Amino acid sequence: MSELMATANIAAQYEIAERRRRIYTGLLLILLLVLLIGGVRVAEEANSGSILAGLPKVFDYPFDILSQAYSKGWDFWSIPFSLQHAENGVQHTYFYYLIETINMAVVSTLIGFTLGGLISIIASRNLVKSRTLVWVTRRFTDIARAFPEIVIALFLIFIFGKNPIAAVVAIAFHTTGALSKMFSEVNENADMKAWEGLEAAGASWLQKVWFGIIPQVWPNWISYGLLRFEINVRASAILGFVGAGGLGQQFKTFVDWKFGADIAAIILLLILTITAIDILSTWARRRFIGKTAH
Amino acid sequence: MTITAHMEELAASYPQAINPNRKRLAAWLAGLLTLVGYLFYIWGAFDVSSALDRANTDRASLLALDTYAYKHHVELSLKSGDLMVNLEGNRRNAYETLPEWVVSAGGETRVDMGAGYLAVISLARLQLFKNDVLITDIETTATGPILHSAPQDWMRIAANKIEGRPDIYVRFIVTKSKILLQRYSTGWENFWFDSSSELNGTSIWAAIALTFSEDRLDTAQSNYALVTSEIWGNNEWQHGQIMHAMMITVLMAFCGTLLAAITALPLSFMAANNINPVGLLRFSMKRVFDFLRGVDALIWSLIFIRAFGLGPLSGILALWLTDTGTFGKMFSEAIENADQKQMDGVNSVGAGKVQTTWFGVIPQILPVLISQTLYFLESNTRSATVIGMLGAGGIGLKLADTMRTGQDWENTMYIIFLIIFVVIIMDNISSWLRARLIKGAEKSAL
C-alpha cells in the first residue's frame, strides 16, 4: 500500500517538475522571441530604409549584376583569365588575384598555427605548473581573438601602403588567438598517462611535451587548423575589400565602378573557391581524425 | 637475465622503435623544404622587402603615440601677434586663460615643454633650451625662418619651414607666418568631461563625490543627472553615441544569429539523409546552404544595403543569410549523426513521423544546436563590427569614422578596448550558458 503511494508521490513530483521545466522553456522562448522582434524593430528604426519599402527592391542589385553578366554572352567566362587594370601599372588576371588571396590565407594560417601551437602549450593547465603564467597567456589569447582584424589591417595599410602584408599580419594575429584557445582545450583533454610515464623515466619538460602530448594532439590540431584555413580564406577576401590586396581589393574597385559582369565573375570565383576549399578541408579533416569530427 | 640482455632482446624485437625510419625522416625533410621554398616564394610575391623599405615608421610611431597621448598646441601668429593655446589644434578647445606652463610677459612667451625642455618664443625668434642649455635658435623673417644654431638630425629644414622633434613628446614648427609648439602629455584628455562642459577638469572621483553632495551645481537638476548627462554628452569622446552604437552591433549579432538558427532548423531536416527520403531535394538544399555560406556576409550586406538602405537592418539580414547556410550545414550533419536507435524506440511504441522526429531526433541534436548558436553569437559580434564598417552602422561605422581622419587614434583605441571588452564578455556568457544548458555535451560539439 505504502509502496503504491510512494510511486504515486514520485509520479506527482515528476509531473510538477516536468510542468515547471516546460513553463521555464516556454518563458525562455517567449523572451527570445520578444527580444528578436524588438531588436528587428529597433534596427529598422535606425535603418535609412524600411522593410516594406525595401522588399520589392531586394532583387534589383543581383538582377542588375546578372543581366550585365548575361549581356556579355560567352565572353563572361573569359573574364577571370583576361588582363585587368591594375594600380601599379602591372596588369594581372583575376586568377592571379585569387591566388594572392589564397596565399594570404595560407601564410596567415601557417603563422597562426605555429604561434598558436606554441602558445597553447603554455596556456594548458595540465602542462604548466604556474597558474599565473597560464592565466596571463589565456588573457593574451582572449585579447588576440577579440581584437578586430580590420583595425590591424587598416593600421598596417597606413604604414606599409596597400599590400597583402597588412591582411596577413592581421589575420595571423587573430588566428593565433583563436587556435591557441582551441589547441589548449585539446591539450587539456589529452591522456596524461604517457606524460606520467615519461616523467617517471626522468624526461625533461620539453621531452614530456614532445613525446607525451604532441603525438596525441596533433591530428586535432591539424583539423582545427584546416577549419581556420576555411575561415581565413573568407577573411582575406574581406580584408582585401579595405585595401589589403588580393581579389577583395579588385572586387571593391568594380563595386565602386558598378561593373556588373566583373562583380559577378569575382563573386562566382569566390564562391567556387570557398566551396572547393570547404570540400577539400572536410575531406582532409576526415582523413586526419576519422569521421567523428564535423 | 640481466637488464642489459633484456634491453637487447627488446631492441631486437622492435627494430623500428630504435632505428629512425628513413622514409619518415625524408618525408619530414621534404615537407620542411617545401615550406621554406613556399615562404621564399611568398616573400617575392607579396613584395615584402620593398614594402618594408617603404614602411613609414615615423608615421607608425606618431599614430601609436596618438593612441595614448594628447597634445597641446601653442600657436603664435607672426602676422597678428595672437597667441593661442589649444588642445590638438582644435580652435573650439582653446584656453581662455593661459595654463600655468605658459608664461607671457613683455612680448616674450616662455613655454615649459616638459621633459626638461623650455621654449622661449617671440615674434622675432624661437629659442629652445634643454636643461637651461640653448640647443636651437631660429630667427623668423618675412621670407622664412633662419636657423642660427647647429642643425640636428631630428630637424627637417626646408626653405620656408623648419620642423624639429628633439623628443617624442616635444615638437616645433616654424614657418614665415607662425610658430607652432606641440607639447605632448600622456593620457586621455577630457575623457569624462569635454572642454565645453562646466565640469571640465573635474576628476571622475570628484564627480562621483559630487553626485552624493546636496548642494546643486545646477538648480534645475540633481548633481547625479548633471554629471551623467555631461559624461554621456561628451563631445570629444562621444560616450553616449558610442555606447548606443555598441548596442546596435550586439543587436545585429543577436538578431542575425537567432533568425538564422530559427530558419536553418527546419531546412536542415530537409537536407538530412535519414529524415528526408527525396534525394533531389536533399541535394539542392545542401547546395543552397553552400551558396548562402559561399557568398559571404560582405556581399549579402552590399545587396541588402541597396534595398533597405544603410543601417543595422541590412546587417541583420546579411548575417541571417550567411549563418543560415552555416547552421544548415552543421545542423543537418548533426541530424545525420543522430543515433537511429532512439528514433526506432520512439517509432516502435506507435509514434508518427512528426513525433519520431520531435522525441527521437531533437533531444539528440539540441546540445549541438544550442552550443553552435551561442558560439556564433560571439563570433558574429565581430562580423557585425566588420560589416558595420562597410555600411551597416553600429560600432564598426564609429570605428571607421575615427580612423578615417587619422587624427583621433585615441578614440580608435577607446572603441577597440570597448569591442574587446564586449567580445570577451559575450564569450564568457556564451561558454557559461553552454556549460549550464548542456552539461558535458559541450565537448562533443566542435
Q: Which of residues 48-67 of B touch A (CB under 8 A)?
A: 48, 51-52, 54-57, 59-60, 63
* Amino acid, single-letter form, for residue A122: I
At which of B186, B208, B228 does a domain end?
B186
At which of B186, B214, B231 does a domain end?
B186
Give the pLDDT of residue A157. 86
pLDDT at A87 over 80: no
Q: Which of residues 7-36 of B touch A (CB under 8 A)?
A: 35
Instruction: Choose between A89 and A100: higher pLDDT.
Output: A100
The angle, 0 to 180 degrees and rounded to 10, between the axes of the packed helices B362-387 and B409-438 is 180
pLDDT in tens, B24-67: 888 889 999 999 999 999 998 888 888 888 887 777 787 788 88
Number of domains observed in the structure of chain B? 3
pLDDT digit string (tens) for chain B, length 446 residues: 577 888 888 778 877 666 667 888 888 899 999 999 999 999 988 888 888 888 877 777 877 888 888 888 888 888 888 888 888 777 777 787 888 888 888 788 888 888 788 888 888 888 888 888 888 888 888 888 888 888 888 888 888 888 888 888 888 888 888 888 888 888 787 778 777 777 777 777 877 877 777 777 777 777 778 888 888 877 778 888 899 999 999 999 999 999 999 999 999 999 988 888 888 999 899 889 988 988 888 888 888 888 888 889 999 999 999 999 999 988 998 888 888 888 888 888 888 888 888 888 888 888 888 888 888 888 899 889 888 888 888 899 888 888 877 667 888 888 989 998 998 888 888 888 878 776 654 444 43
Q: A1 pLDDT band (50/70/90 cuts)?
A: low
Give the pLDDT of residue B11. 79
Q: Looking at beta carbons, which residues of chain B come within 8 Å of A234?
A: 296
- Cβ of A118 under 8 Å from any chain B Cβ? no
Rounded to the nearest integer, the mean pLDDT of chain A is 86
- Cβ of B3 under 8 Å from any chain A Cβ? no
- Residue A25 C-alpha cell reads as 522553456
Q: Is residue B191 part of a domain?
A: no
Give the residue on A whose Cα is nearest the Cα of B257. A36
Best CA proximity match to B376, nearest among B284, B302, B293, B266: B293
How much is the ipTM here?
0.83
| Beta bridge mates, B172 | B164, B181
Q: CA dihedral in degrees (A252, A254, A258, A260; nearest 10)?
A: -120
B126 and B166 housed in the same domain: yes
- Cβ of A40 under 8 Å from any chain B Cβ? yes
Give the pLDDT of residue B253. 93
Instruction: Please give the residue range of the domain that contains residue B113.
Output: 69-186
B290 and B426 housed in the same domain: yes
Q: Do A46 and B311 touch (CB under 8 A)?
A: yes
What CA–CA distances, in Å, run from A50 to A43, B110, B314, B392? Answer: 9, 59, 10, 14
Q: Looking at beta carbons, which residues of chain B come within 8 Å of A155?
A: 63
pLDDT at A31 over 70: yes
Give the whole-angstrom CA distance, residue B38 versus residue B21. Answer: 26
A107 and A49 housed in the same domain: no
B74 and B39 housed in the same domain: no
Residue from B244, B250, B292, B298 to probe the interface with A (highest A Cβ count within 10 Å): B298
Q: Is residue A28 part of a domain?
A: yes
Best CA proximity match to B288, nearest among B256, B249, B320, B328: B328
What does the buried/exposed string (b/e) look like for B336-363 if buried means 16 or more CB atoms within 10 Å of the residue's CB? ebbeeeebeebbeeebeeeebbebbbee
Q: Do A46 and B386 touch (CB under 8 A)?
A: no
B277 and B420 housed in the same domain: yes
B268 and B416 housed in the same domain: yes
A50 and A194 housed in the same domain: no
* Chain centroid to CA A202: 41
A168 and A262 housed in the same domain: yes
Residue from A48, A100, A232 to probe the interface with B (highest B Cβ count within 10 Å): A48
Give the residue on A whose Cα is nearest the Cα of B295. A271
Q: Is residue B356 part of a domain?
A: yes
Give the pLDDT of residue A294. 40
A90 and A162 housed in the same domain: yes
Give the residue on A whose Cα is nearest the Cα of B41. A103
Give the whole-angstrom CA distance, residue A105 versus residue A239. Answer: 11
- Cite the beta strand spans of B123-177 per DSSP E: 125-130, 133-139, 146-147, 155-158, 161-167, 170-175
Q: Is residue B133 part of a domain?
A: yes
Over its C-alpha atoms, chain B yields an Rg (Å, rounded) of 33
B353 and B389 housed in the same domain: yes
Contact B181, B171 (CB under 8 A): yes
Instruction: Please give the residue range of the domain that contains residue A48.
Output: 2-54
Residue from A238, A254, A280 to probe the interface with B (highest B Cβ count within 10 Å): A238
* Sign of the C-alpha dihedral computed for residues A99, A104, A107 and A113 taken in this order: negative
CATH classification at residue A193: 1.10.3720.10
- Cβ of A206 under 8 Å from any chain B Cβ? no
Give the pLDDT of residue B260. 95
Chains A and B: how many Cβ contacts under 8 Å?
A: 171
**Which of A46, A154, A294 comes nearest B248 by C-beta?**
A46
- Residue A290 C-alpha cell reads as 576519422
**Which of B47, B313, B446 comes nearest A43 by C-beta?**
B313
Give the whole-angstrom CA distance, residue A57 versus residue A83. Answer: 34
Q: Is residue A59 part of a domain?
A: no
Q: What share of chain A is helix, strand, coil (3-state, %, to 5)?
A: 85, 0, 15
**DSSP for B35-94?**
HHHHHHHHHHHTTHHHHHHH--HHHHHHHHHHHHEEEEEEEEETTT--EEEEETTEEEEE
Number of domains observed in the structure of chain A? 2
Q: Is residue A66 part of a domain?
A: no
Q: Looking at beta carbons, which residues of chain B come within 8 Å of A161?
A: 51, 54
Q: Do A237 and B424 touch (CB under 8 A)?
A: no
Q: Do A43 and B35 touch (CB under 8 A)?
A: no
B176 and B298 housed in the same domain: no
**Which of B46, B308, B315 comes nearest A51 by C-beta?**
B308
Please give, one letter per residue, the 3-state secondary structure of B338-382: CCHHHHHHHHHCCCCHHHHHHHHHHHHHHHHHHHHHHHHHHHHHH
> Among all chains, which residue has been given the C-alpha cell 577549419?
A227
B397 and B349 housed in the same domain: yes
B415 and B317 housed in the same domain: yes
Q: Do B59 and A158 touch (CB under 8 A)?
A: yes
> Among all chains, which residue has been given the C-alpha cell 610677459?
B105
Q: Is residue B312 part of a domain?
A: yes
A152 and A32 housed in the same domain: no
Residue from B299, B422, B446 to probe the interface with A (highest A Cβ count within 10 Å): B299
- Cβ of A255 under 8 Å from any chain B Cβ? yes
